[in-house]
Structure 1
């Protein structure tokens, strides 16, 4: 059971709250409609329930508030607007990435794709999906964790009648398995025809909480629906008799041979047709207009059957639908959600599921090979600069820039195309997710750095000859410096984008190292009072006491020489500062909530 108690949003700019002291229940085994006109507070109410909006009140999902639920996607399935995700990601890639975030096997993604009728569209990119396929994908994402409760914000908006019927059949099947369904709508006819209970809002306040039949009887305009081959003649007859009897009757001609008669009943219309010899093919009382028939209500589970504690199975669905092409308004306050249950698997799916990753790597390889050939032609550049494609005018080599850009994308895309949060809220800042991003970024940077050097060396030997391009004797030290640079740039991109919530900020953090910090470090380290780090291993050995092998001594000395370079010092300080800022902003956000 869903219980909303005293939900009140925080007012803004001296305006009344969008939701004011809202309390209601949505029982398991039923479909509940949250009805209200635009601006009545429906979406804000859902966001308050999901703790995505600042305010007061609490919502219990089977007796527990959302922040007390260990794995919210396994208890509550949410669809707020379009499916959050990178538009270039394929449908299958999106679902598998969400499976990794929820700790589910990838087979669950394929199962739900078939369940919602998207089989055959697995390789389509999210940005090219038709309207209905987007809604189906959103429902598949909401059902991914087999939740007990579904919260949907106007799921049928923009859908045709057959598509809307498919959607409500799916929701009805979920409720029939014991689940709880709550969806918002602006259409009273939709609420009367497809819900078991209707909760009506006006100005953020509760107006009525009624059974759907009672709602239709008391709040919707009744009418008589007539089908006859002589619709125009019957309309004239009914209107003429109503005038003679001084009754207020309105006759509306609809498609083809159909009439809607307001202010009368079946007996009066039938008697009028009989007296004038007008044949009738259909005669029925309705409330709520088209599709709002209430007299033939579906049999629903009794409310006294008790609350079901078994998560609902995924309901079947078939048919085709189209996409709602608008974004929902977002609230200012956002609560951080939990990290992916499988952060490493999630990060790998996120990285490999978009075309930007291979494009950036290919561009870095191509530019580096081109620069290496141009630098090698003159014969004046140093061999390390030639092998890395690093001209003196460039602040960083292409491989380091590419690694930094990919690192910046790792957090930048989380904020631009959020997939970890149900309401496009703040990206999780748990250590597991950060470590996964740093680890994957380091592996990608190492691979890119090695590929660039190998490609540059191969191209140089092919063009200029192998005897003119020897392998340097100090290649271990050069390799360590080179790989440390690309990994450091990748990490700077990850942390910069994580702190400032944008990929551009991550790239700026990468470029700030050679442009601003390296010249500063060169001035500081060139001062007369600076003590050399060359003898640090010996001093450490004397201080620590135990002796280590000469080989380890040489490796430690080499590593310290690399780190002691101005670029190494600047990069180390930058990473340390960004990491501290990342931790500080995460703690401050927790304190705010």
Structure 2
């Protein structure tokens, strides 16, 4: 379990992070979301003690600075570009492994895991952004850690790479590890994360299962299909329900499917299909963080 308590970072111009507290459970992938400038990177740096502030973060009860073997406990991906361009991928990993008391045998294993085995002896300066990202993940995995904190792990990856990392992180979580991954790719996060920590303007917005977050910040609507679509539309309207027709189906402005079914049954109108449709993570995120967005563009129609 990762336990963050009262994380606060004050700057000359004000408070960047204000009293953030949340938990990250093992066995699930927790997504870390927030608008640009919300403080995600600052939060991660505070958690790891890279910058100083108030509050504390513990990994199974121990702060990062007090971990006896940090590389074997917490794997971190923050800045994959922080590698000397002349150093090879294998050379970089051997250096990190030596500094952490990790066997050099792990270098070959993690390069194979992230798909960089064929370029192990290639200079990192010649790597694409996606390849650097994979090398950063390999570095985080060197110690076979119980905890993983990954800042934008899918950044720069092609579609195949994004799909790969989604399944890979889910597999790590299924092994009982604790995975915290930040991302601005909401569509991908909706398929990756089981739980969410959402911040805006340096404050906690939500820390809960993804499905619960979506339910809280979006409205559902009932979609109904019937061979008697026009009579059904009239009947639902007479019952006080707002309804619109979309091609061969009706969309009712409610998330209570029982109400729609009851109205149809009382009118003797058979229903072919009935289900609740709800907006996804993107709509929920926009609704939850709308008041904190600093730079808003103008939509043109």
TM-score by length of 1: 0.39
Q: Are residue 135 (structure 1) and residue 133 (structure 2) matched? A: yes
CA deviation profile, 1:295-314 (whole Å, cap 9, x unmatched):
xxxxxxxxxxxxxxxxxxxx
1:60 is displaced (CA, Å) by 0.5
Say if 1:58 and 1:65, in contact at 8 Å, map to a contact too. yes
Matches within 5 A, 1:148-167: 148-167=146-165
Partners of 1:189 and 1:83 lie apart in 2 by 25
CA 1:219 to 1:86, structure 2 compared with 1: closer, same or farther past 3 Å? same
What is the aligned partner in structure 1 of residue 178 from structure 2? 180
1:211 is displaced (CA, Å) by 1.3
Q: Secondary structure at the match of 1:20?
A: strand
What is the aligned partner in structure 1 of residue 8 from structure 2? 8
CA 1:6 to 1:158, structure 2 compared with 1: closer, same or farther past 3 Å? same
CA deviation profile, 1:362-400 (whole Å, cap 9, x unmatched):
xxxxxxxxxxxxxxxxxxxxxxxxxxxxxxxxxxxxxxx
Radius of gyration: which is bigger?
A: 1
Partners of 1:209 and 1:175 lie apart in 2 by 18
What is the aligned partner in structure 2 of residue 65 from structure 1? 63
Say if 2:218 and 2:278, in contact at 8 Å, map to a contact too. no
Partners of 1:212 and 1:83 lie apart in 2 by 31
1:194 is displaced (CA, Å) by 1.8
Indicate which of 101, 107, 110 corresponds to 1:109: 107
1:72 is displaced (CA, Å) by 1.4
Matches within 5 A, 1:515-526: none
Q: CA RMSD in A?
A: 3.5
Partners of 1:219 and 1:80 lie apart in 2 by 30
Q: Secondary structure at the match of 1:21?
A: strand
Say if 1:4 and 1:22, in contact at 8 Å, map to a contact too. yes
CA 1:100 to 1:203, structure 2 compared with 1: closer, same or farther past 3 Å? same
CA deviation profile, 1:462-517 (whole Å, cap 9, x unmatched):
xxxxxxxxxxxxxxxxxxxxxxxxxxxxxxxxxxxxxxxxxxxxxxxxxxxxxxxx
Say if 1:10 and 1:54, in contact at 8 Å, map to a contact too. no
**Larger proportion of strand:** 2
Say if 1:32 and 1:196, in contact at 8 Å, map to a contact too. yes
Say if 1:7 and 1:23, in contact at 8 Å, map to a contact too. yes
CA deviation profile, 1:45-73 (whole Å, cap 9, x unmatched):
00000111121111101110111112211
1:33 is displaced (CA, Å) by 1.4
CA deviation profile, 1:112-158 (whole Å, cap 9, x unmatched):
11111112111222122123222211111001011111111122234
CA deviation profile, 1:400-431 (whole Å, cap 9, x unmatched):
xxxxxxxxxxxxxxxxxxxxxxxxxxxxxxxx
Matches within 5 A, 1:320-331: none
CA 1:221 to 1:157, structure 2 compared with 1: closer, same or farther past 3 Å? farther
Indicate which of 9, 14, 17 corresponds to 2:15: 17
Matches within 5 A, 1:19-418: 19-220=17-218, 222=220, 247=242, 285=277, 287-288=279-280
Matches within 5 A, 1:423-434: none
Query: Number of matched residues?
Result: 258
Partners of 1:19 and 1:96 lie apart in 2 by 36
What is the aligned partner in structure 2 of residue 301 from structure 1? none
Partners of 2:281 and 2:198 lie apart in 1 by 18
CA deviation profile, 1:64-115 (whole Å, cap 9, x unmatched):
0111112211111111132421112111211112221222222110111111
CA 1:189 to 1:286, structure 2 compared with 1: closer, same or farther past 3 Å? farther
Partners of 2:105 and 2:218 lie apart in 1 by 46
Partners of 1:189 and 1:219 lie apart in 2 by 16
TM-score by length of 2: 0.74
Question: Structure 1 unaligned runs (5+)?
Answer: 226-236, 252-260, 272-279, 293-593
**Larger proportion of helix:** 1
Partners of 1:67 and 1:160 lie apart in 2 by 35
Q: Which has the higher contact order (CA 8 A, sep 6+)?
A: 2
CA deviation profile, 1:190-232 (whole Å, cap 9, x unmatched):
444321211111111111211122112122465799xxxxxxx
Tell me which moved more, 38-47 or 87-96.
87-96
Q: Secondary structure at the match of 1:18?
A: strand
